[in-house]
Copies of this chain bind each other. A is one copy, B any other.
Amino acid sequence: MNTEIRRLLEDVKEGSVSVEDALLQLKKQPFEDLGYARVDLHRRLRQGVAEVIYGAGKTAEQIRGIVASMEKNGQKRILITRLPEERYAELDDARIAYHKDARFGLLGGMPEPDGLGSIVVACGGTSDIPVAEEAALTAEALGNEVVRLYDVGVAGLHRLLSHMDEIMSASVIIAIAGMEGALASVIGGLADCPVIAVPTSVGYGASFHGVSALLSMLNSCASGVTVVNIDNGFGAAYTASMINHKTR
């Protein structure tokens, strides 16, 4: 931002931009105001990633409008997360590759992986797979190589231990589990890379829709574990990709 302000100030000094115009420009939005949404057009530059639309609670019309605005501004690859199947059907856009379980839509196709290493996506049980797939697909769409380790819950420790190689060589690990969420601690104790824990709402009774797993993960006795919101596969993958693309 500083650079832009500096250039603007120099333009003002040189007289190529009037004070009025500069003031206007400083206030001008680096986004398009669609009324119902302000599409952030500089975000890719500012944060270095493809644009993402959070699909939940948006109408097909709103999503279509946002996509159009992005494309008009040159965005090639667009992720639509939390996209319900009905909404996908309504969109009726053949260009969207849709993954039903993960409620994940993608425009522009998967890129080649260009990260430092691989991101391991591990989950505890079969019911955690939708969240795991949201994480895995997001990571792939952001240019990462992904290794999937599914149904490796701690109640059968040998299932996890048989994958020590993948765990030891990962760049980042996303540990996804519902119920008691112990997977994050066990992986955190085994791995020597950052572990991002994703509690899931899988479970019943005192799992309280993911709260038990969330608390477990926040209290992990293993160092190197950080946590995201319940079922937030996207958020975990987004941060994992940031780390896996680290250059400074």
Interface set of A (CB-CB < 8 Å, partner B): 1-2, 5-6, 9-10, 12-13, 15, 19, 22-23, 26-31, 35-38, 40, 43, 46-49, 52, 56-58, 62, 116-117, 124-127, 129, 150-159, 162, 164-165, 168-169, 171, 179-182, 184-186, 188-194, 196, 199, 201-232, 234-236, 238-239, 242-243, 246-248
Cα–Cα, bound, A57→B181 (Å): 17
Cα–Cα, bound, A212→B215 (Å): 5
| Known contacts A116-B246, A154-B186, A212-B216; is-contact A28 B222 (Cβ 8 Å) | no
**A41 to B: closest C-beta gap in Å:** 11
The answer to whether B2 touches A220 (Cβ under 8 A) is no
The answer to whether A48 touches B180 (Cβ under 8 A) is no
The answer to whether A206 touches B213 (Cβ under 8 A) is no
- A180-B216, A206-B215 given; name 15 further pairs at CB < 8 Å: A6-B23, A9-B19, A29-B159, A29-B162, A37-B151, A38-B156, A57-B127, A155-B189, A180-B185, A181-B216, A182-B182, A201-B205, A206-B230, A212-B215, A218-B229
